[in-house]
Chain A
Amino acid sequence: MTYDGKVEVPLYEIAHGRTGDKGDRSTLSIIPYDPSAYAVIAEQATEERMLAMFRHRGATEARRYDLPNLQAFNFVIENVLQGGVNSSLNLDGHGKTLSFLALTMTVLVTPEVLEAAKIAISE
């Protein structure tokens, strides 16, 4: 779909990331492939939207830390692991797979930003 010349794509097309766990909390990095996507993520991948991605699992809070030097974002999501490795009934008690859920969040990007990501990925 296009809006005002922009394209709607999942974060997966412009960024990569990794999840880690601390108790019932998930930590989740979102890292743009190309610097041009940093501002897009900063503007659109808000704490509210990230929390919404995990509400169905009982998540109660999402915090975002911006790291412009590192060109990366760090999200911390509370109470998302259904008890974590201690007591989760989910096959993935650590939430190791959750970065690939976060990367399905959609964002609107210009064709230039999308193209820059594609080039960065292929390099």
Chain B
Amino acid sequence: MSSDKMHIGNAAAFAFDRTDVGIPVVESLISSGKPSALFYETLAERTLAFAQRERLSDPEKGYSPNIAGFVGPVLQRCIESAVPIIGNFGAANPMGAARRLHTLAKEFGISGLRVAVVDGDDLRENIRGLQTKQWGKEKPLDLANTKILSANVYMGSQPIADALDQEPHIVVTGRVTDSALALGPLMHHFDWASDDWDKMAAGVLAGHLLECGAQITGGYYADPGRKNVPGLANVGFPIAEVNEDGSLIISKPNGTGGVVNTRTVKEQILYEVDDPANYLTPDVTLDISEVEVEQVGLDRVRVSGAKGKPAPDNWKVTISVDGGWLGEGEISYAGPNALARAKLAAQTIRERVDILGLDCDLRTDLIGTISIHDGDTGQLTRSFSGEPQEVRMRAAANANDEATAALVAREVESLYCAGPAGGGGVRRNTTWRVKTGSVLVPNKDVKPRITMVTEDDI
């Protein structure tokens, strides 16, 4: 008979999240005395392309770069308290991630580590041979004569639940849906059937609420004077206390900063959701249109009413190809007539791009007026009336080649001596871009694989 409750904690929402937030989450999970799991979400949509490139330069790399920083502070406590860690740290090299975790354990003097690797998501080699369908209304990428940098299918929670049957300390995955990192342990613990759609929906909702970490505990929310959040510098990462019936309470560790209220929860429920009645995942089609939230205590919000419909037969694959180069340069003007001097700087850059005959798409911004909300045509910026004390001119260019992008950025630096008066603080960079697109593949063509990696395998 499984326990009536399971606690799921989250300690990372992306690869560059804080690394000290896992400790209070783990202590809270342990002190609850309930069966628990901790998960890390570190794979953004384009991460796989960058990870594949890293693996090409070093076959042992290509997993989440900060894996040791995330897992190190909590590994000992999680092992001794039987709190499994689940993370999509694998990226382009799940086996490499498992080996890194073993060396990490060795550094801490921990023996007997068991890491389950879930992969089978990497379709780079065979995507051209699969029967794919268009993803929604999205215009498909033109893959003819193009090198595919990465192609990974979003797998669901079943392989994670199955991996947990083998009692690993850590489950490392490649690409799975973010919510599967929470639903997997819930399925394993409650023995939920994969076609019990309302339970699958509840578990996906739990994962969806947790996967962005502090975004449900006051991060990406605080707005001084109306949405006040105490202690953002020490914001607690979230915990879902999930009941067997799928209802749950969102909370955070005692003694941490942040806030959990119906407003933070509502903002996160709808975050990155298209049609709320049809949130598609490989596990279930989630309907959150009937969900209700209720404050049941300090920093405790009850969430209930998730409904499930059958999962789709086709799963989403995200494909990455080369996206050219972005060159950016910025320079500041301050004091009297700052805006006019910044405008002259922008105009000068546009003329320089013409004079040099650079083949690129150029945008200039006047930061400090209205820029970030504007389109590329500068309509809102022109409507700005005011005399700001300082303005930062930014030029950004997309080009097919690195040299052109870098040259636009360097032209901004040239403004030091050859531009308007009193320009200072130039920063510039040139960045390789990745373009992504998505297609659907029949789920029968996806073969998840589970491999247990023990000390003996290293």
By a beta-carbon cutoff of 8 Å, the part of chain A in contact with chain B is 16-18, 20-23, 25, 27, 29, 31, 33, 56-58, 65, 67, 69-72, 74, 76, 78, 82, 85-87, 89-92, 96-98, 100-101, 121
Q: A70 and B291: CB pair below 8 A?
A: yes
Q: A67 and B227: CB pair below 8 A?
A: no
Q: B272 and A16: CB pair below 8 A?
A: no
Partner of B292, one of A70, A87, A91, A92: A70
Q: A20 and B398: CB pair below 8 A?
A: no
| Chain B residues in 8 Å Cβ range of A29 | 266-267, 270-271
| Chain B residues in 8 Å Cβ range of A21 | 272
Q: Which of B337-389 contact A (CB under 8 A)?
A: 361-363, 365, 367, 371-377, 379-380
Q: B274 and A27: CB pair below 8 A?
A: yes
- Rounded to whole angstroms, the CA-CA distance of A16 and B398 in the bound complex is 34
User: Is residue B100 within 8 Å, beta carbon to beta carbon, of the partner chain?
Assistant: no
Q: B291 and A87: CB pair below 8 A?
A: no
Q: Could you name 30 residue pairs across A and B whose Cβ atoms are closer than 8 Å? A: A18-B268, A22-B274, A23-B138, A25-B274, A27-B270, A31-B263, A31-B270, A56-B375, A57-B374, A65-B289, A67-B270, A67-B288, A67-B289, A69-B290, A70-B270, A72-B269, A76-B274, A85-B45, A85-B46, A86-B435, A86-B436, A87-B323, A87-B324, A87-B398, A89-B396, A89-B398, A91-B371, A92-B372, A98-B373, A101-B373
| Chain A residues in 8 Å Cβ range of B221 | 18
B374 to chain A, nearest CB (A): 7
- Rounded to whole angstroms, the CA-CA distance of A29 and B266 in the bound complex is 9
Partner of A70, one of B269, B374, B436, B438: B269
- Rounded to whole angstroms, the CA-CA distance of A22 and B138 in the bound complex is 11
A110 to chain B, nearest CB (A): 20
Partner of B273, one of A23, A27, A90: A27
Task: Contacts A16-B267, A87-B324, A89-B362 known; list 4 others, CB within 8 Å.
Answer: A57-B375, A58-B375, A67-B270, A70-B291
User: Is residue B196 within 8 Å, beta carbon to beta carbon, of the partner chain?
Assistant: no
Across the two chains, which residue of chain B brings its CB closest to A12? Answer: B226
A74-B276, A90-B372, A98-B373 known; A18-B267 Cβ under 8 A: yes
Q: B396 and A20: CB pair below 8 A?
A: no
User: Is residue B220 within 8 Å, beta carbon to beta carbon, of the partner chain?
Assistant: yes
Q: B380 and A56: CB pair below 8 A?
A: yes
- Rounded to whole angstroms, the CA-CA distance of A18 and B272 in the bound complex is 9
- Rounded to whole angstroms, the CA-CA distance of A79 and B412 in the bound complex is 29
- Rounded to whole angstroms, the CA-CA distance of A65 and B274 in the bound complex is 9
Q: A69 and B305: CB pair below 8 A?
A: yes
Across the two chains, which residue of chain B brings its CB closest to A68? Answer: B289
User: Is residue B433 within 8 Å, beta carbon to beta carbon, of the partner chain?
Assistant: yes
A82-B375, A98-B373 known; A20-B273 Cβ under 8 A: yes
- Rounded to whole angstroms, the CA-CA distance of A78 and B46 in the bound complex is 20
Q: B272 and A97: CB pair below 8 A?
A: no
A36 to chain B, nearest CB (A): 16
Q: B361 and A89: CB pair below 8 A?
A: yes
| Chain A residues in 8 Å Cβ range of B428 | none
Q: A18 and B270: CB pair below 8 A?
A: yes
Q: A20 and B271: CB pair below 8 A?
A: yes
Across the two chains, which residue of chain A brings its CB closest to B269? Answer: A70
| Chain A residues in 8 Å Cβ range of B80 | none
Across the two chains, which residue of chain B brings its CB closest to A99? Answer: B267
User: Is residue B309 within 8 Å, beta carbon to beta carbon, of the partner chain?
Assistant: no
Q: B374 and A31: CB pair below 8 A?
A: no
Q: Which of B268-323 contact A (CB under 8 A)?
A: 268-277, 288-293, 305, 323
| Chain A residues in 8 Å Cβ range of B288 | 67, 70
A105 to chain B, nearest CB (A): 13
- Rounded to whole angstroms, the CA-CA distance of A23 and B273 in the bound complex is 12
A18, A82, A98 interface centre (most CB from chain B within 10 Å)? A18
A24 to chain B, nearest CB (A): 8
- Rounded to whole angstroms, the CA-CA distance of A92 and B137 in the bound complex is 23
| Chain B residues in 8 Å Cβ range of A100 | 373
Across the two chains, which residue of chain B brings its CB closest to A72? Answer: B266
Q: A87 and B396: CB pair below 8 A?
A: no
Across the two chains, which residue of chain B brings its CB closest to A23? Answer: B138
B220 to chain A, nearest CB (A): 7
B166 to chain A, nearest CB (A): 35
Q: A70 and B266: CB pair below 8 A?
A: yes
- Rounded to whole angstroms, the CA-CA distance of A35 and B379 in the bound complex is 36
| Chain A residues in 8 Å Cβ range of B267 | 16-18, 29, 31
A69-B292, A72-B266 known; A16-B323 Cβ under 8 A: no
| Chain B residues in 8 Å Cβ range of A87 | 323-324, 398, 433, 435
